[in-house]
Structure 1
Amino acid sequence: MSKKKIVFTGGGSAGHVTPNIAIINEIGFEDWDIHYIGSKKGIEKELIEKLNIPYYPITSGKLRRYIDFENVVDMFRVLKGCLEARSTLKRIKPQLVFSKGGFVSVPVIVAAKSLGIPIYIHESDMTPGLANKISQRFATRIFTSFEETKKFFPADKTRVIGSPIRNEILIGSAQKGRELLGFHDRLPILTIMGGSLGAKKINETVRDSLTELTKIYQIVHLCGKGNVDQSLAQVSGYKQFEYVSDELPDILAATDLVLTRGGSNAIFEFLALKIPMLIIPLSKKQSRGDQILNAKAFEEKGYSLTLEEENLNSETLNNHLKKLQENKETYKATMKASVQGNGLKVLVDEINQIRKK
């Protein structure tokens, strides 16, 4: 049987790419001829090229919910992206396009629909992003992480499956993680993840609080591209990285508490790993509010604490982390009892049904 072809798309942040990577690693290169269409400068280009998968960059415009002259310019960028994506898809002739959203996915999905190619999309957040709101009308199948999200999509083609969690994230070694970081086992390890692009206020507040925090925790700070502060390189018990890839499973295996944004893919992974979370979601000023809803849902289920960014300072950070540490066993027990699913197997099975046709 000759290999079937599949095109993945999605980008703009790691949250739109890592689930695709999880699926790519699971469906296997032996059975599928795998291709990726992404933006010219997004993080997806760097992450996907590491996998030695053919990568096709296209022009992409930002989708805005507010009136701005750039919307006019970006309409032409999106149109150009549609033409580029259509040309690429005509050459590849895939049996399926799979999208994880982000601005770059819209031209790919429009182009795929025009060519009669089946389209699967996955929405991670409680409410759909603008890209998936547009894409849903073209999609063949729609999958969601949250039960609450289903109401935003056509019922006849939508299925709730949870988030596709990378298998490799679940098999890290705590001992290797501590050795990698040069940490001991006498203080808990706090991992701070502001997302692949970093989080300015989180980074600043953590660094302003280091004197107190390093008395209580050993800290791993994933601070985003260009955000490493070399003046803090010698602070004992504090390690900072722009972004961690291959070492992340071991670091997370060693982690006792995590401070994170409210991106769905990340918090579902921490749930699977049973790591108590302090979630500091992107504010309404910075986003459409999806991370706030994700954080609220997880807090209500007893998986995490939430601290609004507007209320973030050294005192509130210390107090929330203290509460999380004091009650960490309760959080871990609640997460252990969770019935939230790992959508990876479902997606792999659904994709492989296409291969068998």
Structure 2
Amino acid sequence: MKSIVFTGGGSAGHVTPNLALIARLKEQGWSVDYIGSADGIEKSIIEETGIRFHPISSGKLRRYFDLKNIKDPFKVLKGVADAYRVIRKLKPNAVFSKGGFVSVPVVVAGWMNRVPVIIHESDMTPGLANKLSVPFAARVCVTFPETARHLRGGKAEYTGLPIRDEMLRGNPAKGRDICNFHKQKPVLFVMGGSLGSRVINEAVRGGLERLLERFQVVHLCGKGNLDPALTRVRGYRQFEYVSGELPDLLAMADVVVSRSGSTSIFEFLSLKKPMLLVPLTRNASRGDQILNAESFRAQGYSEVMEEESMNAETLAEALFQLYADRDVYVERMSRHSNQDSIASIIRLIEATAR
């Protein structure tokens, strides 16, 4: 039996594409293990699936000054040792990394064990973790064709982003049952990333009365961000985070407002959901979400609103216009080439595995 080790974490966007590949590989008889951080979001997501999870030490890789930068390199080194022992014991045919700071020790440990490593970059430009990982990788899968020019060595392979099969099988009737919604009013789906977004949450709740005149609203607000005062508001449902319910909630949605992490926006694209994207600012990120959002706007898949210009009024106006023009966005998204990214990446894994 062929075996593979997956890694990736720090946010749901670094985990869910792995789940899409894992499901297909298990169908083909592969044995799968997952290495991640002991306290990261990946641990709970992976353990829910029954996949063997191996926790390691991990330190965050920061581009800014922080006193934690002094001790975190030692955590990374310990993570390399932890991952080295796990990989040496498992003897996998390949290691697949989706990125995030926890992935670097695993990639290095795979290389040290002479196991072929394949990494995947979701964003337009490589993140710091993947930049550090590229020299140790045999191949690099990219979501945007433009990303290849940022990678040296001829390792880049345009595969697109793997989308979980279950995301395409959502049931809108189940979504309405979960939220106690009806069919007579359209649904607005709000998501600020797996950790939530204070700015989006405040703008939605500040304009909720006006939004509810046009929409029913399902709001994924992030851990610890529920507002008890809004629990009984008719036509509004809030969740900290959802997993198995997500396909059904998205299936019933008519328009979406979201951050512009690549995993989420490509899922919206595959489902043909008109989007209003609110990327993280350059002060809060390396600017990858801005590039992702502008690429989708240029292709006619979304509108973009800068965080600095968003408030309850501007958000409501933009969403009303997006809904009015929804058929135009759906038609453009229908022309998108939906290559089978899962099949492309698995062919690459099979060709690269020792």
Residue number among 339, 342, 346 corresponding to 1:341 in the alignment: 339
TM-score (norm 2): 0.97
Q: CA deviation at 1:329?
A: 0.3
Query: Separation in 1 of the partners of 2:263 and 2:29?
Result: 26
Spell out, residue by residue over 1:233-291, the C-alpha distance to the aligned partner (whole angstroms, 9 max, x if none). Answer: 00010001111111111111111001111000110010000000000111111111100
Q: CA deviation at 1:135?
A: 0.4
Amino acid at match of 2:269: L
Query: Separation in 1 of the partners of 2:156 and 2:352?
Result: 17
Q: CA deviation at 1:61?
A: 0.8
Q: CA deviation at 1:152?
A: 1.0
- In structure 2, the partner of 1:303 is 301
CA distance 1:30–1:164, shift in 2 (3 Å): closer
Amino acid at match of 1:159: E
Amino acid at match of 1:136: V
- In structure 2, the partner of 1:200 is 198
Residue number among 229, 247, 252 corresponding to 1:231 in the alignment: 229
CA contact (8 A) 1:277 1:304 kept: yes
TM-score (norm 1): 0.96
Amino acid at match of 1:46: S
- In structure 2, the partner of 1:249 is 247
- In structure 2, the partner of 1:6 is 4
CA contact (8 A) 2:4 2:96 kept: yes
SS in 2 for 1:107: helix
Amino acid at match of 1:69: L
Structure 1: runs of 5+ lacking an equivalent: none
CA distance 1:340–1:146, shift in 2 (3 Å): farther
Structure 2: runs of 5+ lacking an equivalent: none
Q: CA deviation at 1:69?
A: 3.0
Query: Separation in 2 of the partners of 1:109 and 1:351?
Result: 15
Query: Separation in 1 of the partners of 2:69 and 2:275?
Result: 37
SS in 2 for 1:137: helix
Residue number among 95, 113, 118 corresponding to 1:120 in the alignment: 118
- In structure 1, the partner of 2:108 is 110
Identical-residue share of aligned pairs (%): 51
Q: CA deviation at 1:225?
A: 1.2
CA contact (8 A) 1:145 1:343 kept: no
SS in 1 for 2:160: coil
Q: CA deviation at 1:30?
A: 6.0
SS in 1 for 2:223: coil
CA contact (8 A) 2:99 2:119 kept: yes
CA contact (8 A) 2:6 2:96 kept: yes
Residue number among 134, 152, 160 corresponding to 1:136 in the alignment: 134
Q: CA deviation at 1:349?
A: 2.3
CA contact (8 A) 1:27 1:352 kept: no
Residue number among 143, 146, 152 corresponding to 2:144 in the alignment: 146
Of 189-198 and 344-353, more deviation after overlay is shown by: 344-353
CA contact (8 A) 1:163 1:341 kept: no
- In structure 2, the partner of 1:21 is 19
SS in 2 for 1:305: strand
Q: CA deviation at 1:72?
A: 1.9
Structure 1 runs of 4+ with >6 Å offset: none
Question: Is 1:49 matched with 2:47?
Answer: yes
